[in-house]
Amino acid sequence: MVNNGISQLMRASTILLLGLSLVMAGCSSYRRPPPAFHEVLTKPYRVDSGDRLRVVVYDQEKLSTTYTIDPGGTLSMPLVGDVTARGKTTKELESILETRLSKGFLRNPDVSVEVDQYRPFFIMGEVKTAGQFPYVAGLTAQTAIAIAGGFSARAQQASVDVTRQIEGEIMTARVPLSEPLRPGDTVYVRERLF
């Protein structure tokens, strides 16, 4: 009878250790993001699909308006045609547009490009209202959660997972709530274990 009790205790301990090791393996499979994940926050903004740009061609009212970058990453503008905008800074776009306009259309064109409206960010998981929301300057994970109505009752509130695309590569990092967000980021609020 004692051997049977010890055997059951050893089986229960083995199952418990196996369960704990699986939980720990799940936690340890998460890797730190490469340095580029945070470095992008200090670099000039690169436009992408969904961004709306204000383009001003000085002394050319008909060309000066807002343009939205299409899902293919292209900016379409009269006289200039289609310009690959995805991944370019506003300064790079100014130079490209000036070059294109100077080829038979305008003499010494002067172009200014600025972001009129950033593409949205996304939030899902344990928040009251998951979905797509307009990006605002200075957005952090905490303010994104507030915009989404706050945490749900089951939310893990110490950190969130943020997924962002950097130079065509998708990266995910577990970050504190004070983490700055970029347009197009996806925030995932995890469910707490206990």
Q: Taking all residues of the chain, what is their mean pLDDT, rounded to a whole number? A: 87
Residue 24 has a pLDDT of 45
**What gap in Å lies between CA 166 and CA 28, rounded to an integer?**
24
Exposure of 12 in the CB half-sphere (CA atoms within 13 A):
6
Alpha helices by DSSP H, listed for 50-187, are: 90-102, 141-147
**What gap in Å lies between CA 106 and CA 108, rounded to an integer?**
6
- Are residues 41 and 178 in contact, defined by beta-carbon separation less than 8 angstroms? no
Residue 28 has a pLDDT of 43
Sorted by sequence, the CB contacts under 8 Å of residue 94 that are 6+ apart come out as 111, 112, 113
**What gap in Å lies between CA 80 and CA 95, rounded to an integer?**
12
Residue 128 has a pLDDT of 97
Chain-centre distance of CA 163, in angstroms? Answer: 6
Residue 104 has a pLDDT of 83
Residue segments in the chain with a per-residue pLDDT below the cut of 50: 16-29
Residue 176 has a pLDDT of 93
- Are residues 65 and 109 in contact, defined by beta-carbon separation less than 8 angstroms? no
User: How far, in Å, are 24, 41, 46, 80, 90 from residue 99 at the CA level?
Assistant: 56, 29, 20, 9, 14
In the chain the domains, ranked by start, together with CATH numbers, are 33-43+119-189 (3.10.560.10), 52-117 (3.30.1950.10)
Q: What is the pLDDT of residues 72-122, one digit of tens each?
A: 999 999 989 999 999 999 999 999 999 999 998 899 999 999 999 999 999
Residue 36 has a pLDDT of 87
Q: Are strands 121-125 and 131-133 parallel, antiparallel or unpaired?
A: antiparallel
- Are residues 120 and 132 in contact, defined by beta-carbon separation less than 8 angstroms? yes
